[in-house]
């Protein structure tokens, strides 16, 4: 019984040492947006960044994502655009692939299908920021 108590104490100590994955929020994503996206999409995410005028296809107004999708924010689709996996719907030079730049520690992310997928924290933070800036009807 004493050995069991020692092993149990050791396991509890190990569990206490492990870092808990705190989910990123919109405030975490805002800084990433300003560093990586604002130059094209603008500081207010309305598609009017300083590079927008020189682009053949202007950047989208990111505050209207939910409106363009019938009142639902398409988490999986937007995540795929941010990380660079969804490029089939973009002709010519479009948005750069940020997935590699935003890699790092992983957090569980549910894209809307009920499955928690390990996803880089920075990508989730950026997505949460985009969700938070959606225009209200």
Q: How far is CA 74 from CA 111, 127, 132, in A?
A: 8, 10, 13
pLDDT in tens, 17-40: 334 458 888 999 999 999 999 999
Q: Is residue 111 part of a domain?
A: yes
Q: Is residue 128 part of a domain?
A: yes
Whether 74 has a pLDDT exceeding 80, the answer reads yes
Q: Is residue 11 part of a domain?
A: no
**How many independent structural domains does the chain possess?**
1
Whether 50 has a pLDDT exceeding 90, the answer reads yes
Q: Is residue 74 part of a domain?
A: yes
Q: Is residue 6 part of a domain?
A: no
Q: Is residue 108 part of a domain?
A: yes
Whole-prediction pTM value?
A: 0.76
Question: Are 126 and 33 a contacting pair, CB within 8 Å?
Answer: yes
Q: Is residue 69 part of a domain?
A: yes
Averaged over 124-133, what is the pLDDT? 96
Whether 95 has a pLDDT exceeding 50, the answer reads yes
CATH number at 35 reads 1.10.760.10
pLDDT of residue 43: 97
109 Cβ partners below 8 Å, 6+ apart? 79, 116, 117, 118, 119, 123, 124
Q: Is residue 9 part of a domain?
A: no
């Amino acid at each position: 019984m004493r050995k069991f108590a020692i092993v149990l104490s050791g396991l509890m100590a190990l569990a206490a040492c492990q870092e808990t994955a705190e989910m990123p929020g919109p405030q975490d994503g805002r800084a990433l947006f300003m560093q990586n996206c604002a130059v094209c999409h603008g500081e207010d995410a309305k598609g009017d960044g300083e590079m927008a005028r020189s682009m053949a296809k202007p950047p989208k107004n990111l505050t209207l994502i939910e409106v363009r999708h019938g009142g639902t924010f398409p988490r999986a689709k937007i995540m795929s655009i941010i990380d660079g996996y969804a490029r089939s719907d973009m002709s010519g030079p479009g948005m750069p692939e940020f997935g590699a730049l935003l890699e790092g520690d992983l957090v569980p992310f549910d894209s809307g299908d009920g499955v928690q997928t390990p996803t880089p924290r920075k990508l989730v933070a950026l997505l949460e920021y985009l969700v938070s800036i959606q225009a209200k009807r």
